[in-house]
Structure 1
Amino acid sequence: MDAELFPRTRTEVAPGAVHVPDWLDAGRQRELLDACRRWARPPAGLRTVRTPGGGTMTARQVCLGRHWYPYGYARTAVDGDGAPVKPFPAWLGALGRRAVTDALGPDAVAEAAYDIALVNFYDAGARMGMHRDGDERSGAPVVSLSLGDTCVFRFGNTGTRTRPYTDVELRSGDLFVFGGPSRLAYHGVPRVHPGTAPPALGLTGRLNITLRVGGFPDGSPDRTPGGFPADA
């Protein structure tokens, strides 16, 4: 928005969980959107994720570095076309490390060698149920970047999918980082506000790019206990 009655500022939502508004400028947002469009093309492109109970997630997804599926990671799109997962670019890892430094400080970035990205696309009716990002073997902070439509991001606690939680408005260009005591907090997206993307961006819907450190040694099994979302 051009005019804010109360300008948005950096906020610590919970210990180790920080919201940084407008972290990506307009040019960087367009660059990321162009990259997401390239990544979404087959092979190993944008797909609908099926839940273990036979349902489907309403947000569609493409992965880089390793392919996420309930409840683990693989080197190929095992629940899609079976193609090798697209590589994770070094520039995206550098962006993730800068995000952690800006949000949590330089000490938090020591172990953050980002190597996995999950890109979720939300149309007007999509949402994401409360879940934990628990399929990685690293406790490095999760970096979340928002493009397009504004959403309600619900950030909860580590013990339950229910209250207490805090609802945060994430707009295009916003950064959210969670690590430390909040690394395994439940979180979700109960609502997307259609038509709120910056017109100049040229995106209908919302893209969320989450960066993670897998922590998988070479040759190790990919499958780990998970925290798949309810009501995805």
Structure 2
Amino acid sequence: MPRITTIGFDADDTLWHNERFFRMTEARFSALLADHTAPDHLADRLLAAERRNLGRYGFGIKGFVLSMIETALDVTGDRVPGHVIRGIVEAGQEMLEHPIELLPHAREAIEALAPDYRIILVTKGDLLDQERKLAQSGLGELFDAIEIVSDKTPGAYARIFDSHGNGVERGLMAGNSMKSDVLPMIAAGGHGVFVPHGVEWALEAAEPPRAEPRFHELPHLGGLADLIATLN
């Protein structure tokens, strides 16, 4: 295989905590609607709304808040109390202000690879929120390029690694989402490294392509430099 020259990193739940704040907010949402529906039913309705709305709102907190409001209207027959809507909005605002907490090995992994490879941040979601998180992370100066995209597709990876590297076939993408970070990167012709996180959003789950030689899995980013050295 061609030598790897460009490394892409996902951001949310690869470099810093993110999904756990969604789950905390979902628990708060359930408490707000406890008098109207059972938690399991509410969770199913919310997930269905998120799935429907991805094409409308994209990924991120703002779309999540709108999906919660839509779900609250649905489960109450459009009679949701005003204080519930206010509680949902306030929960979303708190998510947008939550401080960033780096995951173990995140900075060290980037710093170990930066002298010998081009390093790219490839993340998706709301532009302002992703820019905020990157600024608070203190990692921004370590990247040679930053790409915030509406979705991660094979075409998006091909464009990014052509623009900032020597082509996607010489690229590697590391992230916690099988569906967004690994499978489309491999489909584009590059390497995908799955670094699982303890909390997984159901809409990002997918089966790993274990027979694919460009698929790799690590328990954490601390082993990434050694893996790439082995591949090269």
> When the two structures are superposed, what TM-score results if normalisation uses the length of structure 2?
0.29
> When the two structures are superposed, what TM-score results if normalisation uses the length of structure 1?
0.29
Structure that is richer in strand per residue: 1
